[in-house]
Structure 1
């Protein structure tokens, strides 16, 4: 199945049953043990990114593109820290939820700003481009194209997270335990870290910081690369 079909599946999923599921996971309400584990893992990744940027001491001076923003879990705290944030997601429902959450904090402020867009349609220039837990929806043969496009938007830095392709995770995925539960409705693509680094290097970026988040059901490799 080609990438266009995968995008349609992802878009439809996150505009229907997937939206309800992930809205709960990214919220603070009651969830089951698996969802709580994923929530905690994702939040760890978000917190690491925020800590990295805050440690640099210039967050309020930055323009940031949050590509695949979901319900605003990263965009909103970055805007609270003073960054100028442009956020987008393929799901209209996700973007709608993110706008509501932002409005409850910032009122009618236009920062962060949210838009419904596919990664491939993103344009403009930003000091930092961030894409968290999105590449898992892209086939291996399309990931390099998406990463290269995101690199073209970044003036100074790109931060990516992805599910790393290791023997252990490949085995889990093969036996159907990577994303457990009846609500699993999208493909989960694993990516070799060496392949991701190679694409970043080809686009003029060098990895400066990295981290791994691993819980029972959530696995995410985080890379920060700069020009």
Structure 2
């Protein structure tokens, strides 16, 4: 089993068996703690940032929402006219996404439970991956992008955990005080080194940073391979 497969298995266990209800609540309008409010607000801002890197009119275009979670990004892509393949490793979250999708948009979204890198998903005009690669090493991210690049005509926009002093403090605190229900450990990245790791895996396009979102306990960096 590769390092990617091992991390994938840990992520699947966490989201499908441990944290389904937590993430269902976080991605809804239900009341949450002050800490989770900051995470919810940060995720909303990051979703808007990722969407800003794609055309406002996606009619006739095919888009992969890699790690679709509860389906918020997929719904927004469908509203722009895209034909969306919404994939998540957690069948439970995929079921929640289906239930939350407005009926008039269901015909534009194909929900799939499984590996977001599966070649059987086909070819795409664009790929988005919000917070679904944050648990992987630079070489694993590069290998994932190498698999997606030849099947993607346009942009690949994704997020990583940035190597900032605040996030590193939180990261080390998490390592010192582990809990059985804690999520898989995020791996912080410096975007310059990540770009080198990605290139070393044979990815042809240049990886560029887009912007960073910081909202309380949510700290995330958007990255982009342009088509």
Match of 1:219 in 2: 219
Gapped runs of 5+ residues in structure 2?
Answer: none
How far, CA to CA, are the matches of 1:152 and 1:126 in structure 2?
10
Deviations 1:28-57 (A, max 9, x none): 10111111111111111111122332xx44
Alpha-carbon distance, 1:183 to partner: 4.3
Question: In the alignment, is the contact (CA less than 8 A) between 1:151 and 1:200 conserved in 2?
Answer: no
TM (norm. structure 2) is 0.86
Q: 1:7 to 1:28 in 2, by over 3 A?
A: same
Alpha-carbon distance, 1:200 to partner: 6.0
Question: In the alignment, is the contact (CA less than 8 A) between 2:145 and 2:203 conserved in 1?
Answer: no
Q: What pairs up with 1:166-185 in 2 under 5 angstroms?
A: 166-176=164-174, 183-185=181-183
> SS at 2:185's partner residue?
coil
Match of 1:203 in 2: 203
Out of 110-119 and 205-214, give the one that drifted further: 205-214
1:187 to 182, 185, 188: 185
Gapped runs of 5+ residues in structure 1?
Answer: none
Question: In the alignment, is the contact (CA less than 8 A) between 1:164 and 1:192 conserved in 2?
Answer: yes
Q: 1:58 to 1:207 in 2, by over 3 A?
A: farther
The RMSD of aligned alpha carbons is 2.7
Alpha-carbon distance, 1:60 to partner: 1.9
Alpha-carbon distance, 1:225 to partner: 2.4
Q: 1:96 to 1:165 in 2, by over 3 A?
A: same
Q: 1:77 to 1:120 in 2, by over 3 A?
A: closer
How far, CA to CA, are the matches of 1:206 and 1:121 in structure 2?
23
